[in-house]
Amino acid sequence: MPDSPAGPPAPPIPLAALLAREELGLRRIAGPDHAELLWVHTSEMADPYPYLLGGELLLTAGVQLANPDTFVSRLVQGGASALGFGLAPVHDTVPDALVEACDRHGLPLLEVDPGTRFAAVARAVWQLMAEARHRELRRVTRAQQALATAAARPDPVPAVLRQLAVQLEGRVELLSADGDVLHGAGDVPPAGVRAALVRLARVVAPATPAGPPATAPARQPSPSSAADTLDGTHLSAYALGGGQGLALTLATPRRDAGDHTVAGIAVVLLSLLTAPHQGADGAGRSAALVRLLLGATPQDVAPLLGDGDSWTVVHARRADGTPAGALNAGALGAALGSALSDVDRETVRVLLPGPHEAVTAQPGWTLGVSGPGPVTALPDADAEASRALGHAEATRTALTTHRPGTGGLAALIPPDRAEAHARALLAPLTEPLAGTLRCWLSLHGSWDRTAVALRVHRNTVRQRIARCGALLDMDLDDMDVRTELWFALRDRRP
């Protein structure tokens, strides 16, 4: 693999690991001795509850500690993992009422020595998280290499399953849509766990209803993965790509931060290894690609891509901003139910047969979805998906779908006349000025959201918009001007 996996998120830090840092001099004086920390937050507010995300080690000197019981109760409600109380200059000792409240509500309470700065505690937590993430990334990398090696064996599917069972120390199975075990590895689970895994598999890869497609009842889109816990065993199920109705199920004694990433790698490999079972559908797409490369037009090869007349384009980027490698692109395509995926730097593009309503948000991704259209209109759909992705990132939403206009006043003007007017009006503008103006207008003139959507500095947006106003000799603060430009930008064809 030339690209590194995006990797798991930083695992939570055990409270014991922080207490073991002797240079900090932290001492647990109340509450349970076990907790997991996701981050550190410092606050001297009387009620920090509205600002908690959950999993924090909250550090305070007790400046506004009026009612310890209410204070601790609110921390627990907000999901805080532990409380660190700094001695001096406000309190010489930890108030007894605070100690009793932490014991009563089950919140670990740490005494922070006067010589220990809160910043030092925070830095220690970030260091521990960085070390844990590095260990997890190394584990994921080793697992990826082992799974790739297994996929190259003469019996690749059983080999990948065996290696996945070793990496996750559990039971893995490849199930058909009917719940039959096609391949398995690891210790066979109890009957109750086995039945729960079959139920999860049917959630992500339900059986196809019997009967002709025209009379089969419509089904809601299925999630790409599902998880549950039974008697301390962690259960997971993942749908394989290609619409094959196959599911990968796992039963593991624990669920570490990188397990989902490792399972995703296996899903991609298994989807590729089982792809030949798609039969004529896969052969038709291969034939279409060959004919395109030999000079055929999209109209000529459209019949080979299936009997559907509707296609959707999806553009996606990793929500955390990390580059999207080939494995991530394949995993996303598999999750969306298509083997037609591509990655260009940080953007993944997936081509889906069928309407856009089947596309659902995917964890860790930001998606832009085009409207449905014939194969001959895929370039337009590609542009729609790109704009939708920019809008999704600017509005910080997981998924945005292109919504075509419904007509209205714009429909009263013949398209050829509208396009001619648009070209004449916008003639002074070249790219990227026209694209920036269109994005800026679509986001109601927001500098910050336009900068996010275009991935440029907000000052660059301001400079481009000012340049547009100068070239067009128009007041872009005038709503009539903005409206005319919006219609022109919409009507102008590439």
In this structure, the answer to whether residues 50 and 77 fall within a common structural domain is yes
Range of the domain at 298: 280-306
In this structure, the answer to whether residues 157 and 274 fall within a common structural domain is yes
List pLDDT tens digits, range 195-217. 888 888 888 877 655 444 444 44
In this structure, the answer to whether residues 261 and 157 fall within a common structural domain is yes
Provide the pairing of β-strand 341-344 with 181-185.
Answer: unpaired
**Residue 110 belongs to a domain:** yes
pLDDT at 345 over 80: no
pTM above 0.85, yes or no: no
Cβ count near 443 (within 10 Å): 20
In this structure, the answer to whether residues 379 and 450 fall within a common structural domain is no
Kind plus residue range of the DSSP H or E element containing 185: strand 181-185
In this structure, the answer to whether residues 177 and 114 fall within a common structural domain is no
**Residue 48 belongs to a domain:** yes
Nearest to 316 by CA among 394, 236, 256, 398: 398
**Residue 213 belongs to a domain:** no
In this structure, the answer to whether residues 358 and 421 fall within a common structural domain is no
**Residue 105 belongs to a domain:** yes
In this structure, the answer to whether residues 157 and 273 fall within a common structural domain is yes
Number of domains making up the chain: 5
Q: Which residue has the higher pLDDT, 325 or 273?
A: 273
Q: Which residue has the higher pLDDT, 352 or 290?
A: 352
List pLDDT tens digits, range 50-88. 999 889 999 999 999 989 999 999 999 999 999 999 998
Most confident of 207-216, 419-428, 445-454: 445-454
Q: What is the CATH number of the domain that holds 30?
A: 3.40.1390.20
What pLDDT was estimated at residue 406?
45
In this structure, the answer to whether residues 415 and 338 fall within a common structural domain is no
In this structure, the answer to whether residues 35 and 120 fall within a common structural domain is yes
* pLDDT confidence bin for 237, thresholds 50/70/90: confident
In this structure, the answer to whether residues 165 and 274 fall within a common structural domain is yes
Q: How far apart are CA 219 and CA 200, in angstroms?
A: 17
Q: What is the CATH number of the domain that holds 234?
A: 3.30.450.30
* pLDDT confidence bin for 283, thresholds 50/70/90: low
pLDDT at 346 over 50: yes
**Residue 317 belongs to a domain:** yes
**Residue 4 belongs to a domain:** no
List pLDDT tens digits, range 88-109. 888 999 999 999 999 999 999 9
What pLDDT was estimated at residue 211?
46
- 126-135, 268-277, 345-354, 448-457: which has the minimum mean pLDDT? 268-277
Mean pLDDT over each residue of the chain, to the nearest integer: 81
354: left (phi over 0), alpha (psi -120 to 50) or beta: left
Contacts with 200 (C-beta within 8 Å, 6 or more apart), sequence order? 226, 227, 228, 235, 236, 237, 247, 249
List pLDDT tens digits, range 252-264. 988 887 888 888 8
List pLDDT tens digits, range 451-475. 888 888 989 999 998 998 898 898 8
pLDDT at 302 over 90: no
Listed in order, strand segments (DSSP E) in 267-346 are 311-318, 341-344
What pLDDT was estimated at residue 17?
92
Nearest to 245 by CA among 201, 296, 311, 299: 201
Query: Tell me, what amino acid is at 169?
Result: E
pLDDT at 222 over 70: no
How many residues would you count in the chain?
494
What pLDDT was estimated at residue 424?
84
pLDDT at 435 over 80: yes
In this structure, the answer to whether residues 50 and 123 fall within a common structural domain is yes
For residues 174-182, give the mean pLDDT: 81
Most confident of 74-83, 223-232, 266-275, 382-391: 74-83
In this structure, the answer to whether residues 397 and 450 fall within a common structural domain is no
**Residue 7 belongs to a domain:** no
**Residue 327 belongs to a domain:** yes
pLDDT at 4 over 60: no
Query: Tell me, what amino acid is at 369?
Result: V
Q: Which residues, listed in sequence order, are joined to residue 58 by a DSSP beta bridge?
A: 41, 83
Q: How far apart are CA 324 and CA 313, in angstroms?
A: 17
